[in-house]
Amino acid sequence: MFSKACEYGIRAAIYIGQQSADFGRRVGLKDIASEIGSPEAFTAKVLQQLVRERLVTSVKGPAGGFELTPEQLRTVTLRQIVVAIDGGAMLQGCALGLPQCSARQPCPLHYQFLPIRDQLNEVLGSHTVGELAGKVHDGLGFLKQLS
């Protein structure tokens, strides 16, 4: 469905969001990677992408780390994260990979996939990172297995 990079990016963003919202504290890379079960250096690359797109905030130096501002918690959607990392192909392109697929010249699956794609866009676009962080806070969502 999503690339590994994107999976890590989403999980990291939600974890950062949860820590920002619940404790107002920044989290370091080591902490993030250990909490979401991802390779540290690779996660750093992914987070850099999100920082460049202003979807996550980073602060260098002692007591630094990653955080989500209140505005980011409120406005950044999952869709923005997915697009920043994986691009829009999965959210727009043809299911069979045809470059010219459209209503005028649809692939045999075109109309069958329209509602699926719509729903995917709806789900990704209508949930903010802050909202999902809330689920984790409430124990309604997990980012790694219970030990």
The sign one gets for the Cα dihedral 130, 135, 138, 142 is negative
143 binds a second copy (CB under 8 A): yes
- Rule CB under 8 A: choose which of 16, 67, 90, 130 binds a second copy: 90
Residue closer to DNA by CB (options 37, 114) is: 37
User: Per CB under 7 A, does 17 bind DNA?
Assistant: no
Among 20, 36, 65, 90, binds DNA (CB under 7 A): 65
Binding status of residue 103 toward a second copy by CB under 8 A: no
Stated length of the chain:
147
62 binds DNA (CB under 7 A): yes
Residue with tokens 């079960």: 37
Give the nearest distance from C-beta 60 to DNA in angstroms. Answer: 4
Chain residues in the site for a second copy (CB under 8 A): 1-2, 4, 7, 10-11, 14, 78, 89-90, 93, 95-101, 105-110, 112-113, 115-116, 119-120, 123, 127, 132-133, 135-136, 140-146
